[in-house]
Structure 1
Amino acid sequence: MSLGVFLVIATSGIDLSVGSTFSLTGMVAGLCFSAALPWPLACLISLGVGLAVGAINGGLVTIVGLAPFVVTLITYAIGASLSFVITDGHSIAIADPNFWKLNGGELIPGVTNFVLFCAIAVIALELVLRKLVVGRWVFAIGSNDKAARLLGIPVHGVRFGVYVASGLAASFASLLSLSYISNSESTAGANLMLQAIAACVIGGASLFGGTGSAIGAMLGAIMITVIQNGVNLIGINSFWQGTVTGAVILVAVLIDRATKVRG
């Protein structure tokens, strides 16, 4: 999820809808499994949630011209509501005996699929950003979209694409989580939006766009997990996790701002 959010942030945008996309994807997947659909088909249908949300976000930002914060706040609220509406707020147990393989299986012996998928995603995204023209476009748009447009870069197309990618990443993350816990909850992604953005910022991405890396987003996600686990291990009430995460984001943003001022 952090990798998708990073792409949006790199273009100087923001995606607040990933948490509710995560939840809604899980509930749609739960309904698909309840209908006894094969798990590959259920996954494809569920990924359509992320595709749809990403396309709506991208369309409203690029075609209609609305601010990313407003657009994704709207889809966040709608997605969170729909995740309750479609199942009346009830959780759904996943009974498919083979679905666990999506997360815990081993396409490569000794490497679980979750680790494999994350590694492939990070390496592929880093290569795209550093070696392909479209990756340069992402950073150029984040640095100065007006200059990028004058250079002939398809600003609207790239921005639309990163919102779609963010939605798909959120949906795929939801499926991996669902495969692990085998239970779909309406509130599963409630706090993940903050964590995904925090991971990007801690990993070196600027909220003003134009900087960052996929590896940084991955390391930021790991650091967030370490911080949250550390809060539990040292005996601090888990209710303080959000405060600690917010404080870490504040420190990272202040460091980024100070660095830009010195530059």
Structure 2
Amino acid sequence: MRFLLLLLPLTLVACADPRPAEPLDAFRASYDDALAAGDVERAIKIVEARAKTGDVGAIGHLASIYDEGQVRAPSKPWKLGEPMRVRTWPGQARLWRARYERERDRQARAGDPDALFYAAQDLAFDDGPIDSPSPEVQAKRDSAHAIRQRLIAQGHTMALFSEAMNHSRGDSVRRDSLLAAAEAAGSFEACAWRAHFSTPNAYTAEAIASHVDRAEACRPLLGSREGHTFAESTLRSLRQGADNGTPEAITTLDSLRALGVFERHPHLAQI
């Protein structure tokens, strides 16, 4: 009970009037570009500059980078590239972790939705057993759940997406509802995963064309960022099959051309 009382203020703050969820920060595009170019030093400077503005996510990301001593650059759709080493000095990760926790708690107490989300995530992911947790661990999980549900009710994009991907497995109707809400709030990731989950069972050219159109409709949500949809993975697999002489893959690609897929999405013709 003592731990629940300590955590209760965060739960109550989550009931305050919500601040509209902000779109993905413009700095993310520059950060992704730096990583894609293999320029680790520039990527770190970009995140550090963002962290100095008090962005809790950026501060936490830096703490993780320095703790792991590496970053990864996306190399293909939804896959991470090889790790790239980051130069660190002793105690650097600990200092950034402490700063993250201080800033997270300060902003959460002030009612910042993003900080509350990170607080809920940190409370939920502990080392306690899944079954029969201690009263302390259960109190943390209960507080995390209360905060998360309030943020979901407020339409917080990250909370909606996290709930869909981590807490709604086995309930496809609820998962799609949460992803739809996150997509409506401007989340490219939610849109892309929603399209992926709607992948047809029938592997016909018409079904694939419809799936590609649905997935590529998410692209405007990227804004200035680089990003990939699962349509690219599907077409890459077909292309590899065609290169290996698989008759079905060759026929399907020809049908997709006839259906105008590559005219509607010319960048996919380069895969």
Q: Normalization by structure 2: what TM-score?
A: 0.21
Of Structure 1 and Structure 2, the greater helix share is in 1
Larger radius of gyration: 2
Higher relative contact order (CA 8 A, sep 6+): 1
